[in-house]
A and B are shown apart, each in its own frame.
Chain A
Amino acid sequence: MKIDEGIAQATPSLGSRRRQYSSYAIAALMVLVFGAARLPFEAGLTRQHRAASFGNVQLNLGLRAKIGQLGFLAALSGFRTLVADLLWIQAHTAWEKVEYGRMNLMLNTVTTLAPHNVNFWDLSAWHMAYNASVAAFNDSKQPKLVRRLQAQHQYFMVGKDFLERGIANNPGAYVLHQSLGAIYRDKLEDHWNAFLEYDKAAAFARAPTYEKRFAAYELAKVPGRERQAWERLKRLYDMGPQERLPTLEKSLKAMEEALSLPEEQRVYKTPVQNPLDIIGKKLQIP
């Protein structure tokens, strides 16, 4: 009897447990309300991050197929560049084993994972255009020269493609323009485009001074551009002795001759012959 009274008294204010549940509810509500409040802020911040080229890497299923479940998980949880580094080292191993096809695939994954690592783009392009292409040309398993030349050209283009994508991802990297210029110059022998790339590289404030020289050298090799080339070379020459390197002097001289500049405009004058010699020669004429 007395016991029942106790329960009866207790029942109306069975508070504590209910209070505990309601505190769960409050906490859950807080998380949700905060979630709703931060939603637009976070969306905006994400946009701002991406505009400042942070974290705009699309991790999709295609990528997962390439880097495997574990790598994908790691990449998802904030260790993207670490996965890229590991793959880069693996790509190096592929290089040592002369497996260029596989290497190409891996380098593509690496640059997808770490698109803002300029070095990865640069070296990937270099491997393809300079190493893989040579290997393709020397491929002993392919007897037909035409085929080997085709394969070689394809690797040039792969290298070029890496650099172009790298530039698109990293507009501030003059090195990539320089490397692209080199591929145009050395591999594709397209001196006009080589000039354009070196010129772009030279336009960056941080770029070393030789970019300007390289641009001018390439321009000098483009038929019909001798005048512009001469102007650029002359400007460099006038900057002082530190610019007057052998290649520059040779190139400048060639332009002066190609343009048949009047004697007084030339840096490299036609050597003046000793009048006495002339006289002597004349005297010798029988």
Chain B
Amino acid sequence: MDAPLSAFSPRAATVQHRFFSPGRVWALATNTLTELIRLKIFYFLLLFALLLIGSSAFLVQLSFQDQFQMLKDVSLGAMSIFTSLLAILATSGLLPKDIEDRTLYTILAKPVSRLEYLMGKLSGVVLLLFVSMLLMGVMFAAVLFWRVHVVTGELVTGGGPQELIDQQLRDLHATAYNPNVWAGGLVIYAKACLLASLTMFISTFASSSIFTVIVTVVIYFIGHLQATARDYWQVSNGAAMGHLTKAFLAFVSLVFPDLQLFNLVDEIVVGTPIAAWLLYKTLGLGLMYFLIYLLAAFFVFSNKEL
């Protein structure tokens, strides 16, 4: 009776297992991206388009310097809001949903390590954010070119001395096109990725996704004040400050990320030049945050009872 069974061996022998496989991470990442896209999450881009077109229609009444300045402020501000929200909301649901639907069991029962699982999920969000930034960037550029085209026509047909027109056109191009805007976009993206990683970390020990969202949003706000707390704590060392206040400031400085450092876009938009090394340093810090939160998430998740 045993003979025919042992003759049919479903799989040749013991399979060689690879400790870490980028292929598995990629499969999880693309799957997460597909899932999020099919959730129709990109509908928010319609909102962005509406905002762009609406504001550019409204801004027509302002001078062209104002117009382009505000168009850039609004667009990059909206990119920042949307990517941050997207990062937090998309990430917060991933883990709870997989646990609740027991999909996580089917995945972890495959030869997938928990690190690969977390990395895959997070990479999916990172891809999603990248696609969103790209789409918003394209929309923004299209509106910008269109407005420049319109305003150029107005200036040229408006008449006046040639020297003045030339000067105005130069001004127009200087205000409208700013070669540093892409750097601002990069920093926005870095911040969103940082937030995604942070959200993933929190969701590994949170009891629900709503808890994750609330905690992350609170961290988001405090993160923008972290620098102030740090300055206070460090500058006024030994000054008249209670131990409790000092401990509190130290806590804020050590625990919360300094998100103010990723707010370069305000100044970039008005034309403040950014040195390459300063940009890379800032992006490097963002990457460090991303990795640390991922690692912390892995520590919690690897010992989690599912």
Contacts and interface: CB of A to CB of B under 8 A. Distances in A.
A211 to B, nearest CB: 11
A81 B77 contact: yes
Contact of B264 (A23, A42, A55, A73): A55
Interface residues of A, number: 48
Contact of B261 (A30, A39, A46): A46
Given A49-B264, A53-B267, A85-B74, A79 B205 contact: no
Interface string A203-224: 0000010100000000000000
Interface secondary structure of B, over-half rule? helix
A55 B227 CA distance: 11
A39 B296 CA distance: 18
B270 A114 contact: yes
Given A27-B300, A39-B253, A85 B73 contact: yes
B136 interface: no
A79 B76 CA distance: 10
Contacts of A208: 163, 167, 170
Contact of B255 (A23, A26, A35, A77): A35
Nearest to B170: A208
A210 B65 CA distance: 20
18 contacts: A23-B304, A35-B253, A42-B258, A42-B261, A45-B281, A45-B282, A52-B273, A54-B267, A77-B220, A78-B80, A79-B81, A80-B263, A82-B74, A88-B70, A116-B267, A118-B271, A119-B270, A210-B163
Interface of A: 16-17, 19-20, 22-24, 26-27, 30-32, 34-36, 38-39, 41-43, 45-46, 48-49, 52-55, 73, 76-82, 84-85, 88, 92, 114, 116-119, 123, 208, 210
Given A20-B303, A35-B254, 6 more contacts: A16-B305, A24-B300, A35-B253, A45-B261, A85-B74, A116-B270
- Which 4 residue pairs are nearest across A and B when measured between Cβ atoms? A35-B254, A23-B303, A27-B296, A82-B77
